[in-house]
């Protein structure tokens, strides 16, 4: 089970990798929002994401976007009560002997991209040829040049297989915590990411903000996970010291698993249903000065 990149994205990817970064950003931003971003004096959340892409070249970002390396970073962070999915295999091409050593369910991922996930469910047959074709396509993908997401340019490209997180749903509910200066301001809940995708946004007390963010909302709003407070504590501890991180977790109400850390949600091209919401998110984010990080 996996989600293909759209035809539009694949066409644009071949073209935009050859454009200067600022021009590519302006074209893609205009296509999504109908106006150009104010990158030098950004106000909205999506404008500030474009600022980060162009100017914030913190070397520590590379580990955070590397889906393999970040696992050790999370463990070293000493976050209590958080499970980090085990890695069963790392490489560039699968052999039948590799498949034979795996459990009945697992997830194939790439270290260097976004949306590169293949879920192998219990009892499902494995087409190793199909997987290797998919893996080769992932290894050719360059997230840094297509979406101007600098940190990915420094990640070593690898495929890996990690444990499947069984929370009683085929595709686990994805809890995405927007953490600004160490405080959770928004929790994004994605349900049905491979079909019938819905997205709701809540504050840290699980009050639904009631606005749309790229995908339709589920109505009525889903209930909060039973261990919500513990999840909030974990991500606030993990994101301490950063001006903004999105930390993704999974939960079955008792156990909590780490998903990933995102620096550039939606590459800064996901529209809210009102500009006022984009500005509200932007107001939560105090950008560092270029002198703090250094221009790349």
Q: What are 235-281's pLDDT values in tens digits? A: 999 999 999 999 999 999 999 999 999 999 999 999 999 999 999 99
For the stretch 24-50, pLDDT in tens is 999 999 999 999 999 999 999 999 999
pTM of full prediction above 0.85: yes
CATH of the domain at 93: 3.30.470
Residue 2 lies in a domain: no
Q: Give me the number of domains the chain comprises.
A: 1
- In angstroms and rounded to an integer, the radius of gyration of the C-alpha atoms of the chain is 19
Sign of CA dihedral 110, 111, 112, 115: positive
116-119, long-range: CB < 8 A, 24+ apart: 116/141, 117/2, 117/3, 118/1, 118/2, 119/1, 119/2, 119/164, 119/170, 119/171, 119/194
Return the SS3 of 249.
strand
The whole-angstrom separation of Cα 227 and Cα 80 is: 13
Q: Is residue 1 one of the residues assigned to a domain?
A: no
pLDDT tens readout for residues 260-272: 999 999 999 999 9
Residue at 95 is within a domain: yes
Asked if residue 54 belongs to a domain, the reply is yes
Q: Under the phi-then-psi rule, with left for phi > 0, alpha for psi from -120 to 50, and beta for the rest, what region is 24?
A: alpha
CA atoms within 13 A on the CB side of 110: 24
pLDDT, residue 258, reads 97
Give the pLDDT confidence score for residue 168 in this predicted structure.
Answer: 78
* 139 domain-assigned: yes
Q: Is residue 267 part of a domain?
A: yes
Which of 62-66, 178-182, 200-204, 288-292 shows the lowest mean pLDDT across its residues? Answer: 288-292
Is the pLDDT assigned to residue 294 strictly greater than 50?
no
Residue 232 has which token pair? 């909030």
**Is 16 domain-assigned?**
yes
Q: What is the pLDDT of residue 4?
A: 46
224 within some domain: yes
In whole numbers, what is the pLDDT of the chain averaged over residues?
A: 91
Query: From edge to edge, which strands make up the β-sheet containing 183-191?
Result: 198-202, 183-191, 174-180, 244-251, 256-262
199 Cβ contact partners less than 8 Å away, ≥ 6 residues apart? 188, 189, 190, 191, 212, 213, 214, 215, 216, 217
Domain that holds residue 40: 7-293
């Amino acid at each position: 089970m996996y989600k293909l990149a759209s035809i539009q994205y694949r066409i644009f990817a071949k073209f935009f990798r050859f454009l200067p970064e600022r021009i590519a950003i302006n074209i893609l931003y205009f296509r999504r929002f109908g106006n150009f971003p104010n990158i030098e004096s950004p106000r909205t959340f999506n404008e500030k994401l474009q600022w980060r892409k162009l100017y914030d070249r913190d070397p520590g970002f590379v580990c955070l976007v590397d889906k393999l390396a970040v696992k050790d970073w999370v463990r070293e962070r000493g976050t209590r009560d958080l499970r980090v999915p085990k890695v069963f295999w790392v490489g560039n091409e699968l052999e039948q002997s590799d498949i034979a050593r795996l459990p009945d369910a697992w997830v194939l991922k790439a270290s260097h991209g976004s949306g590169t996930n293949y879920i192998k469910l219990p009892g499902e047959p494995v087409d190793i040829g199909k997987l290797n074709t998919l893996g080769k396509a992932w290894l050719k993908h360059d997230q840094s040049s297509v979406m101007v997401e600098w940190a990915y340019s420094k990640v070593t490209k690898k495929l890996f297989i990690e444990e499947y997180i069984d929370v009683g749903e085929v595709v686990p509910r994805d809890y995405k915590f927007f953490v600004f200066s160490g405080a959770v301001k928004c929790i994004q809940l994605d349900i049905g990411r491979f079909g019938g995708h819905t997205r709701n946004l809540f504050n840290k007390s699980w009050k639904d903000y009631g606005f749309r963010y790229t995908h339709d909302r589920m109505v009525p709003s889903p209930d909060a996970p039973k261990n919500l407070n513990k999840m909030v504590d974990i991500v606030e501890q993990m994101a301490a010291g950063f001006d903004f991180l999105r930390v993704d977790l999974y939960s079955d109400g008792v156990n909590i698993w780490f998903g990933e850390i995102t620096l550039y949600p939606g590459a800064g091209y996901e529209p809210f249903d009102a500009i006022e919401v984009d500005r509200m998110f932007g107001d939560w984010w105090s950008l560092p000065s270029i002198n703090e990080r250094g221009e790349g």
